[in-house]
Amino acid sequence: MIYLLAGNPNVGKSTFFNFMTQSHVHVGNYSGVTVEKRVHHVKHYEGANLVDLPGTYNVSPSSQDEGIVTYSLLNESYNGVVNIIDSTHLRRNLHLTVQLLELGVPSMLVFNLKDALKNNGYVIDIDKVKDRLKVNAISISARDRQNEDQKQIASEMQNLRITKALELDYDPIIKWGLQRIHDLLRYDVIQVKKKWLALQILEGNEGTFKFLDLVKEEKIREVVKEVEDRIIEAKVAFSLKGAIFNTRREFINNLVEECLIKVEEKEHSKYFNQKIDRIITHPKFGIPIFFIIMLAIYQVSFGTFLGVGNFLTTYFEIGWNDYLVYYLGQALEFLGLTGFMYGLLIDGIMGGIGGILVFLPQIIVLFFMLAVLEGTGYMARVAIVMDRFLSKFGFNGKSIVPIITGFGCTVPAIMATRTIADKKERILTILTIPFISCSARLPIYGIFTSLFFDEYRAIIILGLYLLGIMVTLLSAKFLNLTYFRGSGSKFLLEVPPYRIPQLRTITYQALEKAKRFVKKAGTFILVGSMILWLLSNIGMDGININPEESFLSNIAGFIAPIFNPLGFGDWQATSSLISGVLAKEVVVSSLNILYVGDIAAGFTTLSALTYIVFASLYVPCIATIATIKSETGSLKWTVFSVIYPFVIAYLVALSVNLIFGIFL
């Protein structure tokens, strides 16, 4: 049994999905389109799977992401649809609901955010909803994770009513068009109801043509055109789509009026929002406030004063080096393993992974605090504050989401650009986002700042982040002036109310990032460290040689001179950068291995600075490059995404070397 889970964006769909399936895991890719869909079995319902579709306002797609919903409804087999609805925004959410009910498949409505609605002084009369729409429905609060709710939903899913398709009273001209298209669809063999399909076609759902090979496509398009002209001529609405929309809006308004019941007079939180908004998005103070908040966050994560993250890392480091590695070394010696094997295990693997894992506490602290910020609704205000600024560089307003995601990991950030409808704007965002400092680059900043700039850690790390942002913006401007000329940017943002974030959600998000970090350490970095150590200890003369004569030294030594102008032209620093393309954290483990734990010996204060600047901007990691390839589908842009950052990183690092060379 397969059930599709559909709903608007930001209505607690993922919370609901995790709640119903009791999973935090990503299970697998779902066949069909190239985009990932999460599938998991439903608790208390043997043999049933829930498919998490991307959030959408509408069945008809306006971006690639939303096309999946149309595709799934048209081309995949399923037993029912579960529609999750934000109870506090019924009038908007129900547009999708109406479209799903018009399809006439077994459906269930889940009205989420019951508690928030109650706080506003309202309840939903569920019995009336059931009666009016003839579907199963329930009102819940997915955040509370009530066991009874879970059981009731599962049991209702097993007994979904066979629903008759919802029929709204559209304008006679539209009804006429529906009939004409319906007749033309007789030539096609299609799984879904043709009446629904006809309506979607009239609405301008291009997905219907894209995913179905309709025999009479030409004729159908002519009918759509004719209906549109007649609608405008008869002054029913400004467009055909608008006429359909208005009928639905009227139906929804009546429904809401009947089913939404006021139980208590409450002062609306909007005015509270406004007061805070005035300060936080102030034209002069908005940006400084943002930077002060960010600086405080980096100070707590990495700084020494009030530095929770730094404090924890110190103990983590002691535990790792003085206990774990020490006793492991003792054990190996006891077993008689010395020389090559000892070196591989202790210096190679433990040294390589340890160099990364020590940053785990700092990363957890950082992401915990960023998740708090996100949960409060502040990030949407940052988008408002930054809009004027971003638009000057030709960014789409929606780019702010991928940019913020990019601070975590570039790969999901690039995938998040799917919500940008304009293709040019999307590619522009994809190409510039790798400059945003992802969390994998943090260990590099962490190690160098602790060795060379201990007093100014938070400021230098924040500075590197700002540099990344600046290069992103300037690159966007540059590309906009050259290749992507003339793509205008639009800004339309839903402003969420301020909320007190849930501790469980935040902890979960931070731990999820930590888990990914550890997983990477156990796979990519482990293998990378081993290979690197082996290459640096094997040469033409066999094993256990002087590293200066190793294979690695020979290969990297050949390339190294190009970094001489930047001040770090030795083979160790170069090899570390090359291996960093595997995953950025590997730069640190490589440095640890190649300088045998004494990185400070390999750099001057100035070359350390140019090195981190270069490392923060150069070639993206393999995972990112692969994602760029699959998302743009273009070899040209993929190659560009490798060469362009290298050139930029080189130029910026060179400038840093020249400018700071005067002071340092």
Partner 1 sequence: MNITDLNKKEVAKIISLSDIDKLFTKRLMDLGIYESATVVMLNKLSSNRLYIIEVDDVEICLRKEDAEKIEVKK
Q: Can you tell me the distance from the alpha carbon of 197 to that of 73, in angstroms, rounded to the nearest whole number?
A: 10
Phi, psi of 638 (to 5 degrees): -70, -45
428: phi then psi, degrees, rounded to nearest 5: -55, -45
Using CB under 8 A, which of the segments 88-96, 296-304, 533-541, 616-624 binds partner 1?
88-96
User: Would you give the binding string for partner 1 spanning residues 402-441, x where CB under 8 A is met?
Assistant: -------------------xx-------------------
Q: Rule CB under 8 A: is residue 235 a binding residue for partner 1?
A: no
495 near partner 1 (CB under 8 A):
yes
102: part of which helix (H) or strand (E)? helix 90-103
Residue 543's H or E segment, with its range, is: strand 542-543
Given a contact cutoff of 8 angstroms between Cβ atoms, the answer to whether 400 and 393 are in contact is no
Instruction: Tell me: does residue 249 bind partner 1 (CB under 8 A).
Output: yes
Rounded to whole angstroms, how far apart are CA atoms 172 and 179? 11
Count residues near partner 1 (CB under 8 A): 42
Rule CB under 8 A: choose which of 192, 215, 493, 654 binds partner 1.
493
Q: Residue 246, interface with partner 1 (CB under 8 A)? A: yes
Nearest alpha carbon to residue 78 among 160, 187, 155: 160
Question: Using CB under 8 A, which of 90, 202, 538, 593 touches partner 1?
Answer: 90
Provide the terminal-to-terminal Cα distance of the chain, rounded to the nearest Å. 67
Half-sphere exposure of 260 (CA within 13 A, CB side): 20
Contact letters (x/-) for partner 1, 541-570, by CB under 8 A?
------------------------------
Gap between the Cα atoms of 80 and 6, Å rounded: 11
Instruction: Provide the minimum distance between the beta carbon of 450 and partner 1 in the complex, in angstroms, as a whole number.
Output: 39
Cβ at position 38, least distance to partner 1 in Å: 23
| Residues between 95 and 124 that touch partner 1 (CB under 8 A) | 95
CB 73 to partner 1: min, Å:
17
Tokens representing 230 are 């007649």
Q: How far is the CB of 237 from partner 1 (least distance, A)?
A: 7
Helical H runs in 186-239?
A: 194-202, 206-211, 217-233
Q: Report, in Å, the least distance between residue 493 CB and partner 1.
A: 4
To partner 1, the closest distance from the beta carbon of 65 in angstroms equals 13
Count of positions (residues) in the chain: 664
CA atoms within a 13 Å half-sphere pointing along the CA-CB vector of 487 = 24
Binding mask 32-61 for partner 1 (x = CB under 8 A): -------------------------xx---
Chain center to CA of 172: 44
With CB under 8 A as the contact rule, the residue among 41, 44, 92, 128 that binds partner 1 is 92
By rule CB under 8 A, what string of x and - marks binding of each residue 379-398 to partner 1?
A: -x---xx-xx--x-----x-
Taking CB under 8 A as the rule, does residue 241 contact partner 1?
yes
Angstrom distance (rounded) from CA 144 to CA 140:
9
Q: Which of 23, 273, 376, 487 binds partner 1 (CB under 8 A)?
A: 273
Query: Phi and psi (nearest 5°) for 76?
Result: -110, 155
Q: What does the binding site for partner 1 look like in residue numbers (CB under 8 A)? A: 57-58, 62, 88-92, 95, 237-239, 241-242, 245-246, 249, 270, 273-274, 277-278, 281, 283, 286, 380, 384-385, 387-388, 391, 397, 421-422, 490-497
